DNA sequence: CTCCTAATTTAGGTCAACCTAACTTTTATT
DNA sequence: AATAAAAGTTAGGTTGACCTAAATTAGGAG
């Protein structure tokens, strides 16, 4: 299992899990390789029994592939906790270096790291950290984009993408931040949020990448 | 710079530093690749200006190559400190996983790790940890194998090799352990050492892989 | 229901890092 | 100094992961 193949499995999981097939096009976009390269690599991985291909339709992880993907995510998120909690990383820095470190996550290491960090439930960006046995209970969250004016809620999870993370951190948004939606622009217009200390505006696109708890 | 090339530079440094040429044979042994593969790779690295080859004689790092090699060693040793101090690794486990982690050591990460660990001077096996700027003041030590009966000294550094490390740790040898040589076998016979609490015997070969301070 | 477009696959090629086998240079021995 | 052994290099081949270009399939629009 090379770092390369690991990335294919991880992205396949993130894009579809066990729910639905993932197209080669999506894979080629997130992995930034040519579609032909995706076909080729997926064929190898399917021969290894890690995923199943429906030709021209898409592919999906097998239980074996799932196990590997989840352990990568576990490593990634534990490393993020370490980098932010102990080394003073920013959100986006932590994500970047965790992308490298996740490929060095034998269970001997991740299990001990987990203990050292005192078994954190969430990564700094709000994603659930799978347990050592691969178990992972995702919370049911909603998109900020689906809130209405007047709703009050809490930031629970954000998608991990460098520029987006920097943008959020500059705005002062953190996991757990409580806010009230004070206005929602029409036609995918911006959301205005009242935080504890200040009011900020975020684009509709950003609102689609932020998960929040049920509003009250 | 791939992890592969990094390993060539690191081993070249460990085998010869800037002192003397290193033969391809040595390189092929420590890297466990065919001699022909060494020739090929060293050629590439010399084209990149990281080392100089004297055909049929051996090769040596340039200042650029040295810089990379030292930063790898720095990463390796800092990771070892972390693994042992915070994750409860044994000597040999720490060495193994540090071999992987060292290839993920951008200075952003190692410098912060260094600070987190409170700027340790030595790795758990007694090697000096190079500073961020590449500076490294090696202590002058002597081999345990060169001590005479009656000499009293302290363990300062041990070579990092899995089976050897396990052997030492089982014997209760640690960096800083004080001991007195109570007998030296003839013809490369074993050394008998009186530690604080007990007496142990170690082979001549082992005595050649242990560094100690000047006896008093 | 045909046809066009977008997605996918196949074919053929590159590059990095390895290998074995054959050849050359160095060195050590007689 | 001649030559055999050891070390190093060159040549040619393999594998993994990528690429472009060409051929194929799927699915929606008229």
Q: What is the mean pLDDT of residues B108-126?
A: 97
What is the pLDDT at residue B138?
Answer: 84
**Percentages of chain A per state (helix, strand, coil), in multiples of 5:** 45, 20, 35
Predicted confidence (pLDDT) per residue in A66-77, tens digit: 999 999 999 999
Would you place residue A16 in the very low, low, confident or very high pLDDT band (cuts 50, 70, 90)? Answer: confident
What are the extents of the domains in chain A? Answer: 3-61, 142-212
Q: Is the pLDDT of residue A197 over 90?
A: no
Q: Helix H segments across chain A?
A: 3-16, 24-31, 35-47, 63-87, 91-101, 107-116, 162-171, 204-207
Q: What is the mean pLDDT of residues A35-51?
A: 96
**CATH architecture assignment, domain A3-61:** Orthogonal Bundle (1.10)
Q: Is the pLDDT of residue B17 over 90?
A: no
Predicted confidence (pLDDT) per residue in B62-107, tens digit: 999 999 999 999 999 999 999 999 999 999 999 999 999 999 989 9
Domain B142-212: top CATH class: mainly beta
Q: Give me chain A's average pLDDT, please.
A: 94
Provide the shortest C-alpha distance from residue A121 to chain B (in Å): 19
CA distances from A64 to A8, A68, A98 (A): 14, 7, 23
Searching chain A, which residue's CA lies closest to the CA of residue B99? A104
Q: Is the pLDDT of residue A19 over 90?
A: no
Predicted confidence (pLDDT) per residue in A76-122, tens digit: 999 999 999 999 999 999 999 999 999 998 999 999 999 999 999 99
What is the pLDDT at residue A138?
Answer: 84
Beta bridge pairs of residue A178:
A154
Would you place residue B216 in the very low, low, confident or very high pLDDT band (cuts 50, 70, 90)? Answer: confident
Q: Is the pLDDT of residue B60 over 90?
A: yes
Provide the shortest C-alpha distance from residue B202 to chain A (in Å): 30
Residues 44-103 of A with CB under 7 A from strand C: 53, 55-56, 58
What is the pLDDT at residue A209?
Answer: 93
What is the pLDDT at residue A181?
Answer: 95
Q: Chain B residues with CB inside 8 Å of A88's CB?
A: 112
Integer-rounded Cα Rg, in Å, for chain A is 19
Which of A166, A88, A165 lies closest to A127, judged by CA?
Answer: A165
Give me the phi and psi of B158, to 5 degrees please: -130, 150
């Amino acid at each position: 299992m090379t770092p390369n193949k690991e990335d294919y499995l991880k992205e396949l999981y993130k894009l579809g899990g066990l729910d639905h097939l993932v197209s080669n096009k999506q894979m080629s976009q997130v992995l930034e390789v040519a579609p032909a390269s995706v076909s080729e690599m997926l064929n190898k991985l399917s021969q290894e029994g890690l995923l199943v291909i429906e030709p021209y339709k898409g592919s999906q992880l097998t239980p074996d592939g799932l196990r590997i993907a989840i352990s990568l995510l576990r490593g990634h998120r534990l490393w993020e906790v370490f980098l932010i909690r102990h080394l003073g990383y920013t959100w986006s820095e932590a994500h970047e270096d965790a992308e490298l470190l996740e490929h060095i996550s034998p269970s001997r290491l991740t299990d001990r790291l987990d203990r050292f960090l005192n078994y954190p439930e969430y990564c700094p960006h709000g994603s659930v950290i799978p347990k050592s046995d691969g178990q992972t209970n995702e919370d049911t969250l909603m998109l900020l984009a689906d809130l209405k004016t007047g709703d009050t809620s809490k930031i629970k999870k954000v998608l991990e993408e460098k520029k987006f993370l920097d943008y959020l951190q500059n705005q002062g948004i953190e996991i757990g931040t409580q806010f009230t939606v004070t206005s929602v622009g029409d036609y995918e217009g911006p959301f205005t949020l009242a935080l504890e200390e200040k009011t900020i505006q975020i684009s509709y696109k950003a609102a689609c990448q932020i998960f929040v708890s049920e509003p009250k």
